[in-house]
Amino acid sequence: MEKRLRRTALYIPGNNPTMIQNAGIFGADSIVLDLEDAVSIEEKDAARILLRNALRTIDYKNTEVVVRINPLSTPYGHEDLKVIAREKPDAIRLPKCESVEDVQEADKLLTKIEENIELKEGTIKLMPLIESAKGIFNVFEIARASQRVVALNFGAEDYTADIGAERTKEGKELLDIRARILLAARVAGIDALDSVFGDINDEKGLIEETKFIKQLGFNGKSIIHPCQIKPVHQIFTPSEDEIKYAQRVIAAIEEAKAKKSGVIALDGRMIDAPVASRARRILAFAKAAGLISVI
């Protein structure tokens, strides 16, 4: 299976029918239909039903469909999971995830539901949202708590509030935290997605932050408005030189395979596994941006 790109994960309020209906048309790699922070307590049940019906009727085509449920520790989380999982979203985003037990609880519930609806076990993925001191403390275990976990998400706003840090646009206060999440994700062999950039009018700020998190190694970012898709995708779009080099790397690998040669070299430099995997990642981004048609 081709690895999914997750450059952008667009939050959509789970209580807004028009936005739910149109969520898939803007070109985000993933949409995150939100039952948690976007929905007030009085509307939790109505939003859940709305979203259930939306998942039954709307075809989001190739977009990855993720639902952010309420934390399993609240009265709504279990009901959310029970109702939503039956509609087979691609993944569940688990907010306020703080421990292995949080993931395992969701995992068990999902296994039961998958059994009930005759869906292959493990089909519905999990994306823990790390947004507290405790979550960061346990992030390595969380990342490896279940086969279902395909990505770690970072929630900077809640995290800074929890830790007592001052939230700045520059984000120095988050540097080591981001690095830690990234490391945990890579150890587990999964994606790492950065927090949202809250000011939709500040495209420059968004671009700077996205460049920075790409440099750190993140796979993408959660976003809060369709206008943030294009700038983020552009940053994750490789340059022409990068693409050309990546294509040559892959061609050299293919050639070596055909010759059954063990050692692969390009321009006098050895191509090892990391170089090959970087080349594949670049070509995947290039393909998503429409710059090449096949990898």
- Per CB under 8 A, contacts with another protein among 219-278 are 225-227
Count the neighbouring beta carbons within 10 Å of the beta carbon of residue 210. Answer: 25
DSSP 149: B
Cβ-based nearer residue to another protein, 12 or 124: 12
CB of 22 to another protein, least distance (A): 6
3-class SS at 218?
Answer: coil
CB of 229 to another protein, least distance (A): 9
Cβ-based nearer residue to another protein, 160 or 222: 222
46 sits near another protein (criterion: CB under 8 A): no
CB of 72 to another protein, least distance (A): 32
3, 21, 73, 265: which one binds another protein (CB under 8 A)? 21
Calculate ∠ Cα 119-123-129, nearest 5°: 135
- Per CB under 8 A, contacts with another protein among 157-186 are none
25, 117, 187, 265: which one binds another protein (CB under 8 A)? 25
Between the CA of residue 93 and those of 110, 189, 273, 280, what are the distances in Å? 13, 18, 31, 27
Cβ-based nearer residue to another protein, 15 or 138: 15
Between the CA of residue 228 and those of 12, 178, 198, 206, 252, what are the distances in Å? 13, 20, 10, 8, 37
Cβ-based nearer residue to another protein, 20 or 174: 20
2, 42, 59, 118: which one binds another protein (CB under 8 A)? 59
Tell me the C-alpha distance between 233 and 157, whole Å.
23
Residues 6+ apart with CB under 8 A from 67: 14, 32, 33, 34, 35, 51, 55, 80, 84, 89, 91, 92, 93
Nearest to 83 by CA among 122, 104, 54: 54
62 sits near another protein (criterion: CB under 8 A): no
Q: Which stretch binds another protein (CB under 8 A): 17-25, 116-124, 166-174, 259-267?
A: 17-25
Residues that bind another protein (CB under 8 A): 21-22, 25-26, 57-59, 225-227, 290
